[in-house]
Copies of this chain bind each other. A is one copy, B any other.
Amino acid sequence: MADFALLRDLLIPNKTKIFLLVMDGLGGLPMEPNGLTELETADTPNMDRLATEGIVGLHIPIRPGLTPGSGPAHLGLFGYDPLTYVIGRGALEAVGIGFDLQPHDLAARGNFCTIDSSGKVTDRRAGRISTTVNESLCTRLSQIQIPGAQVFVKMVEEHRFLLVLRGQGLSDKLNESDPQQPGVPPVDIRAEVPEAETAADIVRSFINQARKLLQDQHPANMILLRGFSHRPSWPQYQDVYGLKAASIAVYPMYRGVAQLVGMQELPTGHTIADEVTTLEEHWHKFDFFFLHVKKTDSYGEDGNFKAKVAIIEEVDQLMPRILALKPDVLIITGDHSTPALMRTHSWHPVPVLLWGRTVRPDTVQSFGERPCLAGGLGTFLSLELMPLALAHAQRLTKFGA
Protein backbone atom coordinates (compact mmCIF):
# COMPACT_ATOMS: atom_id res chain seq x y z
CA MET A 1 0.00 0.00 0.00
CA ALA A 2 0.95 3.57 -0.21
CA ASP A 3 2.77 4.19 3.06
CA PHE A 4 0.23 6.62 4.45
CA ALA A 5 2.20 7.58 7.55
CA LEU A 6 5.22 8.43 5.44
CA LEU A 7 3.22 10.36 2.85
CA ARG A 8 1.43 12.30 5.57
CA ASP A 9 4.81 13.40 6.94
CA LEU A 10 5.93 14.60 3.51
CA LEU A 11 2.79 16.48 2.48
CA ILE A 12 3.14 20.13 1.62
CA PRO A 13 0.24 22.46 0.77
CA ASN A 14 -0.30 23.40 -2.83
CA LYS A 15 -3.09 24.62 -5.06
CA THR A 16 -2.47 22.07 -7.77
CA LYS A 17 -5.25 19.89 -9.10
CA ILE A 18 -5.12 16.20 -9.96
CA PHE A 19 -7.62 14.62 -12.32
CA LEU A 20 -8.00 10.83 -12.42
CA LEU A 21 -10.06 9.53 -15.32
CA VAL A 22 -10.95 5.87 -14.95
CA MET A 23 -12.39 3.99 -17.90
CA ASP A 24 -13.65 0.88 -16.16
CA GLY A 25 -12.21 -2.34 -17.59
CA LEU A 26 -10.07 -0.34 -20.04
CA GLY A 27 -7.42 -3.02 -20.62
CA GLY A 28 -8.16 -5.42 -23.43
CA LEU A 29 -6.96 -8.16 -25.73
CA PRO A 30 -6.95 -8.65 -29.49
CA MET A 31 -9.95 -10.63 -30.76
CA GLU A 32 -7.69 -12.67 -33.02
CA PRO A 33 -3.94 -13.43 -33.16
CA ASN A 34 -1.90 -10.43 -34.29
CA GLY A 35 -4.91 -8.17 -33.84
CA LEU A 36 -5.16 -4.97 -31.86
CA THR A 37 -6.75 -4.43 -28.47
CA GLU A 38 -9.77 -2.18 -27.96
CA LEU A 39 -7.62 0.77 -26.90
CA GLU A 40 -5.13 0.17 -29.70
CA THR A 41 -8.01 0.04 -32.18
CA ALA A 42 -9.71 3.21 -30.97
CA ASP A 43 -8.97 6.43 -32.81
CA THR A 44 -7.72 8.61 -29.97
CA PRO A 45 -5.86 11.63 -31.31
CA ASN A 46 -6.13 13.54 -28.05
CA MET A 47 -4.88 10.74 -25.84
CA ASP A 48 -2.13 9.97 -28.34
CA ARG A 49 -0.95 13.55 -28.07
CA LEU A 50 -1.05 13.31 -24.27
CA ALA A 51 0.90 10.03 -24.46
CA THR A 52 3.50 11.78 -26.60
CA GLU A 53 3.85 14.69 -24.18
CA GLY A 54 3.39 12.55 -21.06
CA ILE A 55 4.55 9.22 -19.72
CA VAL A 56 2.82 5.88 -19.94
CA GLY A 57 2.99 2.41 -18.44
CA LEU A 58 0.87 -0.42 -17.10
CA HIS A 59 -0.41 -1.10 -13.62
CA ILE A 60 -1.24 -4.39 -11.94
CA PRO A 61 -4.46 -4.06 -9.92
CA ILE A 62 -3.88 -6.53 -7.07
CA ARG A 63 -0.95 -8.83 -7.70
CA PRO A 64 0.23 -10.61 -10.86
CA GLY A 65 -2.37 -13.09 -12.09
CA LEU A 66 -5.14 -11.93 -9.78
CA THR A 67 -8.36 -10.69 -11.33
CA PRO A 68 -9.96 -7.93 -9.28
CA GLY A 69 -13.56 -7.11 -8.57
CA SER A 70 -14.51 -3.47 -9.06
CA GLY A 71 -14.14 -2.53 -5.41
CA PRO A 72 -10.60 -3.86 -4.88
CA ALA A 73 -9.48 -2.55 -8.27
CA HIS A 74 -10.57 1.00 -7.40
CA LEU A 75 -9.05 0.80 -3.93
CA GLY A 76 -5.73 -0.11 -5.54
CA LEU A 77 -5.95 2.90 -7.85
CA PHE A 78 -6.76 5.08 -4.85
CA GLY A 79 -3.57 3.84 -3.14
CA TYR A 80 -5.16 1.38 -0.70
CA ASP A 81 -3.76 -2.14 -0.90
CA PRO A 82 -6.80 -4.29 -1.71
CA LEU A 83 -5.31 -7.19 0.25
CA THR A 84 -5.23 -5.00 3.37
CA TYR A 85 -8.32 -2.85 2.90
CA VAL A 86 -11.00 -5.51 2.74
CA ILE A 87 -14.65 -4.66 3.08
CA GLY A 88 -17.24 -7.07 4.51
CA ARG A 89 -19.88 -8.38 2.13
CA GLY A 90 -22.75 -6.70 3.89
CA ALA A 91 -21.05 -3.32 3.85
CA LEU A 92 -20.03 -3.83 0.24
CA GLU A 93 -23.63 -4.58 -0.71
CA ALA A 94 -24.62 -1.30 0.96
CA VAL A 95 -21.89 0.58 -0.89
CA GLY A 96 -22.91 -1.10 -4.14
CA ILE A 97 -26.49 0.16 -4.03
CA GLY A 98 -25.64 3.55 -2.64
CA PHE A 99 -27.09 2.98 0.82
CA ASP A 100 -25.70 5.61 3.16
CA LEU A 101 -24.20 3.25 5.73
CA GLN A 102 -23.52 4.95 9.07
CA PRO A 103 -20.53 4.10 11.23
CA HIS A 104 -22.52 1.98 13.74
CA ASP A 105 -24.85 0.29 11.24
CA LEU A 106 -24.69 -3.47 11.03
CA ALA A 107 -25.05 -4.61 7.41
CA ALA A 108 -25.62 -8.08 6.02
CA ARG A 109 -26.10 -9.55 2.59
CA GLY A 110 -29.42 -11.36 2.42
CA ASN A 111 -30.67 -14.09 0.09
CA PHE A 112 -34.28 -15.05 -0.29
CA CYS A 113 -34.34 -18.85 -0.22
CA THR A 114 -36.74 -21.77 -0.27
CA ILE A 115 -37.31 -24.06 2.71
CA ASP A 116 -39.46 -27.18 2.85
CA SER A 117 -42.08 -28.03 5.49
CA SER A 118 -39.41 -29.42 7.80
CA GLY A 119 -37.44 -26.17 7.60
CA LYS A 120 -34.61 -27.46 5.43
CA VAL A 121 -33.24 -25.24 2.69
CA THR A 122 -34.13 -26.64 -0.74
CA ASP A 123 -32.90 -23.70 -2.86
CA ARG A 124 -30.45 -21.14 -1.48
CA ARG A 125 -31.52 -18.65 -4.17
CA ALA A 126 -35.30 -19.14 -4.19
CA GLY A 127 -35.21 -20.00 -7.87
CA ARG A 128 -33.59 -16.61 -8.55
CA ILE A 129 -36.85 -14.70 -8.18
CA SER A 130 -37.31 -11.59 -10.28
CA THR A 131 -36.11 -8.25 -9.04
CA THR A 132 -39.74 -7.09 -9.03
CA VAL A 133 -40.78 -9.86 -6.65
CA ASN A 134 -37.67 -9.09 -4.62
CA GLU A 135 -38.76 -5.47 -4.28
CA SER A 136 -42.20 -6.34 -2.97
CA LEU A 137 -40.74 -8.83 -0.50
CA CYS A 138 -38.29 -6.19 0.74
CA THR A 139 -41.22 -3.84 1.30
CA ARG A 140 -42.91 -6.58 3.31
CA LEU A 141 -39.79 -7.21 5.43
CA SER A 142 -39.39 -3.49 6.01
CA GLN A 143 -42.43 -3.71 8.31
CA ILE A 144 -40.41 -5.63 10.84
CA GLN A 145 -39.96 -3.80 14.09
CA ILE A 146 -37.34 -4.69 16.68
CA PRO A 147 -36.76 -2.86 19.95
CA GLY A 148 -33.26 -1.43 19.96
CA ALA A 149 -32.72 -1.26 16.20
CA GLN A 150 -34.06 0.49 13.16
CA VAL A 151 -34.50 -1.93 10.25
CA PHE A 152 -33.68 -1.27 6.58
CA VAL A 153 -34.31 -3.91 3.93
CA LYS A 154 -33.27 -2.92 0.43
CA MET A 155 -33.68 -4.79 -2.81
CA VAL A 156 -30.45 -5.55 -4.68
CA GLU A 157 -31.26 -7.90 -7.54
CA GLU A 158 -32.77 -11.33 -8.22
CA HIS A 159 -32.74 -13.11 -4.83
CA ARG A 160 -30.33 -10.72 -3.12
CA PHE A 161 -31.15 -7.96 -0.66
CA LEU A 162 -29.39 -5.76 1.86
CA LEU A 163 -30.26 -5.77 5.56
CA VAL A 164 -29.10 -2.88 7.70
CA LEU A 165 -29.75 -2.73 11.44
CA ARG A 166 -29.18 0.68 12.95
CA GLY A 167 -28.66 0.77 16.67
CA GLN A 168 -26.05 1.04 19.40
CA GLY A 169 -23.39 -1.55 20.08
CA LEU A 170 -24.32 -3.95 17.30
CA SER A 171 -21.20 -6.09 16.88
CA ASP A 172 -20.57 -7.80 13.55
CA LYS A 173 -19.05 -10.86 15.24
CA LEU A 174 -21.92 -13.14 14.23
CA ASN A 175 -21.85 -16.37 12.27
CA GLU A 176 -23.67 -16.59 8.96
CA SER A 177 -27.08 -18.24 8.75
CA ASP A 178 -26.45 -19.44 5.19
CA PRO A 179 -25.60 -23.17 5.45
CA GLN A 180 -23.89 -22.95 2.01
CA GLN A 181 -25.64 -26.13 0.90
CA PRO A 182 -29.23 -27.33 0.52
CA GLY A 183 -30.73 -30.17 2.56
CA VAL A 184 -30.10 -28.62 5.97
CA PRO A 185 -31.89 -25.85 7.85
CA PRO A 186 -30.50 -22.33 8.05
CA VAL A 187 -27.80 -22.04 10.69
CA ASP A 188 -28.86 -20.42 13.96
CA ILE A 189 -27.32 -17.04 14.58
CA ARG A 190 -24.80 -17.07 17.43
CA ALA A 191 -22.61 -14.41 18.96
CA GLU A 192 -18.96 -15.24 18.28
CA VAL A 193 -17.89 -13.01 21.18
CA PRO A 194 -19.87 -12.06 24.33
CA GLU A 195 -20.30 -8.44 23.26
CA ALA A 196 -22.18 -9.60 20.15
CA GLU A 197 -25.12 -11.03 22.17
CA THR A 198 -27.21 -7.91 21.65
CA ALA A 199 -26.70 -8.04 17.90
CA ALA A 200 -27.43 -11.79 17.87
CA ASP A 201 -30.75 -11.25 19.70
CA ILE A 202 -31.77 -8.55 17.25
CA VAL A 203 -30.82 -10.57 14.17
CA ARG A 204 -32.65 -13.63 15.49
CA SER A 205 -35.72 -11.50 16.07
CA PHE A 206 -35.48 -10.22 12.49
CA ILE A 207 -35.16 -13.75 11.11
CA ASN A 208 -38.10 -15.06 13.14
CA GLN A 209 -40.36 -12.25 11.99
CA ALA A 210 -39.16 -12.66 8.41
CA ARG A 211 -39.99 -16.37 8.50
CA LYS A 212 -43.60 -15.56 9.47
CA LEU A 213 -43.96 -12.77 6.92
CA LEU A 214 -42.65 -14.98 4.11
CA GLN A 215 -44.34 -18.29 4.95
CA ASP A 216 -46.88 -17.94 2.11
CA GLN A 217 -44.34 -16.54 -0.37
CA HIS A 218 -42.95 -19.81 -1.77
CA PRO A 219 -40.37 -20.08 -3.37
CA ALA A 220 -39.06 -17.09 -1.41
CA ASN A 221 -40.35 -18.37 1.93
CA MET A 222 -37.22 -17.79 4.02
CA ILE A 223 -34.04 -15.72 4.17
CA LEU A 224 -30.35 -16.43 4.66
CA LEU A 225 -27.94 -13.80 6.00
CA ARG A 226 -24.19 -13.54 5.66
CA GLY A 227 -21.30 -11.13 5.68
CA PHE A 228 -22.27 -9.20 8.81
CA SER A 229 -20.10 -6.12 8.73
CA HIS A 230 -19.71 -2.46 9.54
CA ARG A 231 -18.75 0.43 7.32
CA PRO A 232 -14.95 0.25 7.28
CA SER A 233 -13.14 3.12 8.91
CA TRP A 234 -10.30 3.80 6.53
CA PRO A 235 -7.75 6.59 6.16
CA GLN A 236 -9.28 9.54 4.34
CA TYR A 237 -7.90 11.36 1.30
CA GLN A 238 -7.83 14.70 3.10
CA ASP A 239 -5.80 13.24 5.92
CA VAL A 240 -3.35 10.98 4.09
CA TYR A 241 -2.94 12.89 0.83
CA GLY A 242 -3.97 16.39 1.90
CA LEU A 243 -6.47 16.37 -0.93
CA LYS A 244 -10.02 17.63 -0.94
CA ALA A 245 -11.39 15.01 -3.29
CA ALA A 246 -14.57 14.49 -5.26
CA SER A 247 -16.04 11.61 -7.23
CA ILE A 248 -18.07 11.77 -10.40
CA ALA A 249 -19.65 8.42 -11.19
CA VAL A 250 -22.98 7.27 -12.52
CA TYR A 251 -23.07 3.95 -10.65
CA PRO A 252 -23.48 3.90 -6.87
CA MET A 253 -20.81 1.22 -6.36
CA TYR A 254 -18.03 3.55 -7.52
CA ARG A 255 -19.33 6.57 -5.63
CA GLY A 256 -19.58 4.30 -2.60
CA VAL A 257 -16.00 3.07 -2.74
CA ALA A 258 -14.79 6.63 -3.34
CA GLN A 259 -16.80 7.80 -0.35
CA LEU A 260 -15.11 5.20 1.85
CA VAL A 261 -11.75 6.89 1.22
CA GLY A 262 -13.20 10.34 1.84
CA MET A 263 -14.23 11.60 -1.60
CA GLN A 264 -17.32 13.72 -1.82
CA GLU A 265 -19.93 12.48 -4.28
CA LEU A 266 -20.95 14.95 -6.95
CA PRO A 267 -24.41 14.36 -8.46
CA THR A 268 -24.14 13.94 -12.20
CA GLY A 269 -26.08 13.03 -15.33
CA HIS A 270 -25.98 9.77 -17.22
CA THR A 271 -23.69 10.47 -20.15
CA ILE A 272 -19.94 10.87 -20.12
CA ALA A 273 -20.43 14.43 -21.37
CA ASP A 274 -22.70 15.03 -18.36
CA GLU A 275 -19.93 13.81 -16.10
CA VAL A 276 -17.47 16.22 -17.72
CA THR A 277 -20.01 19.02 -17.22
CA THR A 278 -20.15 18.11 -13.54
CA LEU A 279 -16.36 18.23 -13.47
CA GLU A 280 -16.38 21.70 -15.02
CA GLU A 281 -18.97 22.97 -12.58
CA HIS A 282 -17.02 21.84 -9.51
CA TRP A 283 -13.50 22.38 -10.80
CA HIS A 284 -12.74 25.31 -8.49
CA LYS A 285 -13.93 23.48 -5.36
CA PHE A 286 -11.67 20.44 -5.09
CA ASP A 287 -8.01 19.38 -5.39
CA PHE A 288 -8.66 15.89 -6.74
CA PHE A 289 -11.31 14.52 -9.04
CA PHE A 290 -12.08 10.88 -9.81
CA LEU A 291 -14.28 10.55 -12.88
CA HIS A 292 -15.60 7.09 -13.62
CA VAL A 293 -16.68 5.83 -17.05
CA LYS A 294 -18.62 2.61 -16.74
CA LYS A 295 -19.45 1.53 -20.25
CA THR A 296 -15.99 0.40 -21.30
CA ASP A 297 -16.42 -2.37 -18.75
CA SER A 298 -20.05 -3.10 -19.59
CA TYR A 299 -19.31 -3.53 -23.28
CA GLY A 300 -16.24 -5.59 -22.44
CA GLU A 301 -18.45 -7.92 -20.40
CA ASP A 302 -20.90 -8.07 -23.29
CA GLY A 303 -18.08 -9.14 -25.60
CA ASN A 304 -18.86 -6.07 -27.69
CA PHE A 305 -15.41 -5.03 -28.92
CA LYS A 306 -16.68 -2.31 -31.27
CA ALA A 307 -18.90 -0.64 -28.69
CA LYS A 308 -16.02 -0.62 -26.18
CA VAL A 309 -13.84 1.02 -28.82
CA ALA A 310 -16.57 3.60 -29.45
CA ILE A 311 -16.75 4.52 -25.75
CA ILE A 312 -12.98 5.06 -25.66
CA GLU A 313 -13.32 7.32 -28.71
CA GLU A 314 -16.19 9.20 -27.04
CA VAL A 315 -13.96 9.84 -24.04
CA ASP A 316 -11.15 10.96 -26.31
CA GLN A 317 -13.41 13.52 -27.94
CA LEU A 318 -14.14 15.00 -24.52
CA MET A 319 -10.46 15.49 -23.68
CA PRO A 320 -10.28 19.09 -24.96
CA ARG A 321 -12.92 20.12 -22.41
CA ILE A 322 -10.92 18.44 -19.67
CA LEU A 323 -7.64 19.99 -20.81
CA ALA A 324 -9.28 23.40 -20.93
CA LEU A 325 -9.61 23.14 -17.15
CA LYS A 326 -5.81 23.04 -16.99
CA PRO A 327 -5.30 20.14 -14.60
CA ASP A 328 -1.79 20.07 -13.15
CA VAL A 329 -1.72 16.30 -13.20
CA LEU A 330 -3.90 14.29 -15.55
CA ILE A 331 -4.11 10.52 -15.28
CA ILE A 332 -6.03 8.39 -17.77
CA THR A 333 -6.37 4.71 -16.99
CA GLY A 334 -8.71 1.87 -16.08
CA ASP A 335 -9.29 0.04 -12.83
CA HIS A 336 -8.65 -3.36 -14.43
CA SER A 337 -8.92 -5.09 -17.80
CA THR A 338 -12.19 -6.39 -19.24
CA PRO A 339 -11.22 -7.80 -22.64
CA ALA A 340 -14.21 -8.22 -24.93
CA LEU A 341 -12.56 -11.50 -25.93
CA MET A 342 -13.00 -12.85 -22.40
CA ARG A 343 -16.31 -11.13 -21.54
CA THR A 344 -15.15 -10.73 -17.96
CA HIS A 345 -12.70 -8.91 -15.75
CA SER A 346 -9.16 -10.15 -16.12
CA TRP A 347 -5.75 -9.93 -14.45
CA HIS A 348 -3.97 -8.26 -17.38
CA PRO A 349 -2.07 -5.07 -16.54
CA VAL A 350 -3.92 -1.83 -17.27
CA PRO A 351 -2.63 0.96 -19.53
CA VAL A 352 -2.02 4.24 -17.75
CA LEU A 353 -1.08 7.69 -19.01
CA LEU A 354 0.26 10.40 -16.72
CA TRP A 355 0.52 13.94 -18.01
CA GLY A 356 1.80 17.06 -16.29
CA ARG A 357 4.47 19.69 -16.33
CA THR A 358 7.09 17.58 -14.54
CA VAL A 359 6.78 14.26 -16.36
CA ARG A 360 9.91 12.93 -17.97
CA PRO A 361 8.62 11.96 -21.41
CA ASP A 362 9.31 8.55 -22.82
CA THR A 363 9.42 7.65 -26.50
CA VAL A 364 5.82 6.45 -26.69
CA GLN A 365 3.54 8.34 -29.05
CA SER A 366 0.21 6.58 -28.70
CA PHE A 367 -1.94 5.20 -25.92
CA GLY A 368 -2.35 1.42 -26.08
CA GLU A 369 -1.31 -1.73 -24.30
CA ARG A 370 1.71 -2.49 -26.50
CA PRO A 371 2.98 1.09 -26.62
CA CYS A 372 2.61 1.24 -22.82
CA LEU A 373 5.03 -1.70 -22.50
CA ALA A 374 7.76 0.66 -23.65
CA GLY A 375 6.58 3.49 -21.42
CA GLY A 376 8.55 5.33 -18.82
CA LEU A 377 6.29 4.28 -15.95
CA GLY A 378 7.02 0.61 -16.57
CA THR A 379 4.73 -1.97 -15.06
CA PHE A 380 3.90 -1.36 -11.42
CA LEU A 381 1.30 -2.09 -8.75
CA SER A 382 -1.76 0.14 -8.98
CA LEU A 383 -1.31 1.34 -5.42
CA GLU A 384 1.93 3.08 -6.42
CA LEU A 385 0.05 5.51 -8.65
CA MET A 386 -1.15 8.00 -6.03
CA PRO A 387 2.31 8.81 -4.63
CA LEU A 388 3.39 9.54 -8.22
CA ALA A 389 0.36 11.77 -8.71
CA LEU A 390 1.16 13.68 -5.52
CA ALA A 391 4.78 14.08 -6.58
CA HIS A 392 3.86 15.49 -9.98
CA ALA A 393 1.36 17.77 -8.23
CA GLN A 394 4.28 19.17 -6.18
CA ARG A 395 2.55 18.13 -3.01
CA LEU A 396 5.36 16.09 -1.44
CA THR A 397 8.52 17.44 0.08
CA LYS A 398 11.90 15.75 0.20
CA PHE A 399 12.47 12.63 2.32
CA GLY A 400 15.48 13.17 4.55
CA ALA A 401 18.00 15.95 4.35
Contact = CB atoms under 8 A, between A and B. Distances in A.
Contacts of A344: 398
Given A64-B380, A64-B387, A387-B64, A92 B374 contact: no
A347 B400 contact: no
B65 A397 contact: no
Contact of A67 (B33, B65, B87, B396): B396
Interface string A359-381: 01111000001100111101110
Contact of A66 (B10, B83, B342, B375): B10
Contacts of A397: 67
A378 B27 CA distance: 17
One complex includes copies of this chain to the number of 2
Contacts of A358: 29, 339, 341-342, 346
Contacts of A3: 63, 83
Contacts of A71: 400-401
Contacts of A89: 401
Contact of A68 (B65, B67, B363, B399): B399
A64 B400 contact: no
A387 B66 contact: yes
A338 to B, nearest CB: 11
Interface string A32-43: 011001000000
* Residue of A348, A375, A396 most packed against chain B (CB within 10 A): A348
A389 B87 CA distance: 28
A79 to B, nearest CB: 10
A287 interface: no
Interface string A110-126: 00000000000000000
22 contacts: A3-B83, A27-B360, A29-B360, A33-B53, A65-B389, A66-B387, A68-B398, A69-B399, A69-B400, A70-B400, A71-B400, A71-B401, A72-B400, A82-B400, A87-B400, A342-B358, A347-B388, A347-B396, A360-B369, A362-B370, A363-B370, A363-B373
A64 B369 CA distance: 21
Contacts of A398: 67-69, 344-345
A30 interface: yes
A340 to B, nearest CB: 12
A55 B322 CA distance: 35
A236 to B, nearest CB: 19
A370 B365 CA distance: 13
Given A65-B391, A68-B398, A400-B71, A348 B373 contact: no
Interface in A9-55: 10, 27, 29-30, 33-34, 37, 53
A362 B68 CA distance: 22
